[in-house]
Structure 1
């Protein structure tokens, strides 16, 4: 069986990624209501009862909104680092101790035939981290919710087969928009979110011969548009000679609908 994934939802209102091999069925984040999570899994023909574990990136509500309900209803193991467990405790409610597991930042864990490496990012949460997922010779990177892409992160994620990459905002839309300056400053800062332009720049530095799929994720509903993100990132990729649609696919994600279940 192939190494498959689907971005169940991505955006400022909720985020979740589904990953599977023949041995493992995992979620990274559970940022929508329990009911919506079931619906999103159904869109790709998968059942919540079959999820073997949920890995948490950080405690912001758009990443954990449905976590407690889902984990209790389906008896799903949950993995998070100690500071994130502490930060989200009052939000997710009680989870049976036998379902609670530690997955510290900058460490690796094996889930069946998946090897998953966590890495710290710069974001305004207790101990935010994202993941590189490896199966045999294939590598998937999930990277959203960060103020900048450090050289260390670039080294970890270089030449992935597929990227799910933040393109949170268009800087001009953000600056001209209705947000108060304090919020704009947070988004633009080193612990905020990366823009379309910053996303494209980082991708040109980590893109490798194996890279075939890029999904633009965590788009702001107020300060971005799918077409704008795709154009901005696409122009950056084409500037290094890549032929979009032939050498690499550039795809949207959506806050309400799952992407097709795709093999890496």
Structure 2
């Protein structure tokens, strides 16, 4: 089995992603209840007790809601950077010291034949970071919860076989919607979330010859729709001479249903 993954859940109500090789499996974030996480694992035919650990991206509740419960129930190693550990204090309950590991930005940790590289993003959290996964020549990148994609990020995540990429909102829907201006301003800021169009422009910059799959992730329930996100991203990629359906395929993610296991 090569590098494979499933976006278990993605959106403002909770986020979790499964990434694995034949030797090791990891969970990125646990932003749903323990019961819901169990249901999602059952749907992809995997067991949480087989996980090698959980990687935390940042301390917002939609990424850590079930973290403490899963850590204690399955005695799993938890990896986060020091500032995120500090920010999670009091939010996830007691996690035994022997299960707490530090994984700082722009480090690489190796789990058998699975190498994981962390990289910083721009979001209003203590020290948010996401991950690039490597198995031989295969590469899967997870990047959501960022207000923009910097050149440094692009260098780290370029030419992956597959991306789980934030496509959070449609700017017009957000501007016309019911959110208070303070929240709209936060989402649109450099420490908020990327729009459909900005996500597609970043995708065009990082895609390479290997890139075949892009999963549109962390869609806002109030300010986006799956069809709209896919159409906006496809139209923007077309302006960059990237043909969706030929060079690359776009996939939806869902806040309640996992994507089928994908192999790269």
> Partner residue of 2:231?
231
Query: SS state of the match for residue 247, structure 1?
Result: coil
TM-score (norm 1): 0.99
Deviation at 1:243, TM superposition (A): 2.6
| Residue of structure 1 in register with 2:91 after alignment | 91
**Distance (Å, rounded) in 1 between the aligned partners of 2:232 and 2:205:** 16
- The CA distance in 1 between the partners of 2:222 and 2:68, in whole Å, is 28
Alignment partners' CA distance in 1, 2:139 and 2:47: 24
In the alignment, what sits opposite 1:12? 12
- Matched with 1:170 is 170
Deviation track 1:155-203 (CA, whole Å, cap 9, x = no partner) reads 1111111010000000000000000000000000010000001001101
Give the deviation of 1:112 after TM superposition: 1.2
Paired residues, number: 264
Q: Equivalents in 2 of 1:138, 1:249: separation in Å? A: 17
Deviations 1:33-80 (A, max 9, x none): 000001001110001111110000000000000000011001111000
- Residue 42 (structure 2) aligns with: 42
Give the equivalent residue in structure 2 for 1:75: 75
Distance 1:92 1:139 in 2: 31
Which has the larger displacement, 243-252 or 91-100?
243-252
- Summarize deviations over 1:74-105 as a string: whole Å, max 9, x none: 11110000110010121100011111100011
Is 101-110 or 59-68 further displaced after alignment?
101-110
* Residues 158-237 of structure 1 aligned to structure 2 (within 5 Å): 158-237=158-237
Q: CA RMSD in A?
A: 0.7
In 1, the alpha carbon distance for the partners of 2:150 and 2:144 equals 13
Deviation at 1:25, TM superposition (A): 1.0
How far, CA to CA, are the matches of 1:223 and 1:242 in structure 2?
Answer: 26
Shift of 1:240: 2.5
Partner of 1:257: 257
What does residue 57 of structure 2 align with?
A: 57
What SS does the aligned partner of 2:5 have?
A: strand
Q: Which residue of 2 aligns with 1:243?
A: 243
